[in-house]
Chains A and B, each alone.
Chain A
């Protein structure tokens, strides 16, 4: 069974940093692209970032480009999202999700339960 367990969320002040982690199990992690999607309070889903199986290519939404960094450690079956220069509108539940194949997470076939990030002074 595919399991994706996010951690690292919490309360942070504007301008601060936070690193999210996603522990994957139940599938060959190194064979799949991975992605982060978020949902702000009362809002819809928003794609944030994606990374291919090897980590050799990464992709970002314009809203986070230059502030967030996605990475992965295939030896630890873990996906990360380093979030810097956080703003109020980054407040959201962040979902870790698996793409359907190695090179693309355009289609997401498994999702975690999410971790809440609150940016507030």
Chain B
């Protein structure tokens, strides 16, 4: 299976909002509510930011929000901060009872 499609990079200035898309098919993103988003600073353990499309784990800033429309899920970061600079990955459950990750998006704070 091919990875879910994410933009390679997204950038924004401090205080701005950015949105990262994650496009799959009806056999993964479009077919299930099990879409997650992870923040990964290279060399560190990834961190869960959003689960089941739009739920935020305790301790995650409410500047992070998730949504889904059809086969595309989105992660929005509002009030962009320097600490948000990282790689972001989406993942989805699939009809093959596996999990598929996106290719990753590098977020740069200008």
Q: Does B associate with A? A: yes
Closest 7 pairs (CB-CB, A-B)? A44-B104, A111-B45, A47-B99, A107-B51, A45-B101, A106-B93, A106-B34
What is the interface size of chain A, counting residues whose CB is below 8 A from a CB of the partner?
23
Q: Are B99 and A112 in contact (CB under 8 A)?
A: no
Q: A44-B89, A113-B45 are in contact. Are A107 and B98 (CB under 8 A)?
A: no
Q: Are A61 and B98 in contact (CB under 8 A)?
A: yes
Sample of 12 A–B contacts (CB below 8 Å):
A35-B99, A44-B103, A45-B101, A47-B98, A47-B101, A59-B98, A62-B1, A108-B36, A108-B48, A109-B57, A111-B45, A113-B44
Q: Are B45 and A114 in contact (CB under 8 A)?
A: yes
Chain A facing B: main interface SS:
strand
B64 at the interface (CB under 8 A from A): no
Chain B contacts for A109, CB-based, 8 A: 48, 51, 57
Interfacial residues of chain B within 6-24, with CB under 8 A of chain A in the complex? none
Task: Select B52's contact among A44, A59, A107, beta carbons within 8 Å.
Answer: A107
- Measured CB to CB, the residues of A under 8 A from B are 35, 37, 44-47, 50, 59-62, 95, 100, 105-114
Given contacts A107-B51, A113-B45, 9 further A-B contacts (CB under 8 A): A37-B101, A45-B89, A45-B91, A46-B101, A47-B101, A107-B52, A108-B36, A108-B48, A109-B48
